[in-house]
Amino acid sequence: MSRSLVGANAADCLAGRVAVVTGASRGIGEAIAYRFAQAGAKVVVSARTLTDGDHVLAGGISNVAATIERLGGQALAVRADIGLAEHRKHLIDQAENRFGPVDILVNNAAVTYFERVQDFQQKHFDLMFRVQVEAPFALAQRVLPGMIARGHGAILNVSSHAALHPAIDVGGRGGTVYGMCKAALERFTTGLASEVYGQGIAVNVISPGLVATPGVLHHNLINEDTPAGRVTPIEHMAEACLRLVQGDPKHLSGLISYADDVMKQFDLVAEALPPLHGV
């Protein structure tokens, strides 16, 4: 792979910044990691899957970090199950030991089970809330003191259209708990944005829309019957995320937005990314 991480449209807007991206072994997290590295960030990629082949889905954080470094960026892979408190501490400790204080936190990791309420297993319920609600809260708590002391920082939480209230007459395929998690994440985002407003810290939440990631395809959320116009290019999600972690937090915080809307609002052009695993 010969192309540099820095493309024609990629200003070094994150030069020197340290970014932690969870759920970065594949799909959206991988794309965000590449885009932030293109913009000059030192990127810490985290997930449970270390190497491609360790999981039923393609991808691994060691592969992502190696790609970033091969193309001229700086990256660190830290294996972590963020549902566990000790793993969350280890992740932030490793990031700070290698690169320094964390400037940007992207809470992207998710564990999803599609089961109807009457059949939902308690262990699945507990795990989903630990990973998608408790972990973003706890990781934010770990990085906030440093951000507040330095007077700058950005926390970006990745949500889903599932957070919206569904129509009751269309049936359901078992996404109720997933929607609950994402709705809680959105309320946490706006609440935290209010608490730190004026302290130089942007806190936003973004939904990708329907992106053809390995996980989405695994759950058959995109198939041959899905109209092409409903599918969001993964590069658009990465570009929108980059936009939300830069700029003046007084004017760009507390947002609950969508990748397509951010692309249109700021008239963005998506930068090409290195090939993604399984996408």
Q: Is residue 219 part of a domain?
A: yes
- The pair of three-digit structure tokens given for residue 104, joined into one six-digit string: 């940007």
Q: Is residue 108 part of a domain?
A: yes
Q: Is residue 1 part of a domain?
A: no
pLDDT in tens, the chain (279 residues): 234 454 434 479 999 999 999 999 999 999 999 999 999 999 999 999 998 766 667 689 999 999 999 999 999 999 999 999 999 999 999 999 999 999 999 999 999 999 999 999 999 999 999 999 999 999 999 999 999 999 999 999 999 988 999 887 766 678 999 999 999 999 999 999 999 999 999 999 999 976 755 554 444 454 455 455 556 789 999 999 999 999 899 999 999 999 999 999 999 999 999 988 756
Q: Is residue 225 part of a domain?
A: yes
- Note the pLDDT of residue 231: 65
Overall domain count for the chain: 1
Amino acid identity of residue 78, one-letter, is: V
Residue 196: CA count within 13 A, CB half-sphere: 30
Backbone phi, psi, residue 176, to 5°: -60, -45
Output the domain CATH number for residue 82.
3.40.50.720
Cβ atoms of 201 and 153 closer than 8 Å: yes
Active-site pick, 113, 178, 197, 258: 178
Helix, coil or strand: residue 20: strand
Q: Is residue 66 part of a domain?
A: yes
pTM listed for this prediction: 0.90
β-strands 201-207, 153-158 pairing: parallel
CA 239 to CA 42: how far, in whole Å? Answer: 17
Q: Is residue 271 part of a domain?
A: no
CA 153 to chain centre: 16
Q: Is residue 199 part of a domain?
A: yes
How many other CB atoms are there within 10 angstroms of residue 160's CB atom?
24
The contacts of residue 132 (CB under 8 Å, 6+ apart) are 109, 110, 111, 181, 182, 184, 185
- Clarify whether 178 is annotated catalytic: yes
The whole domain housing 125 covers 18-265
β-strands 153-158, 104-107 pairing: parallel
Q: Is residue 60 part of a domain?
A: yes
CA 122 to CA 53: how far, in whole Å? Answer: 29
Residue 239: CA count within 13 A, CB half-sphere: 24
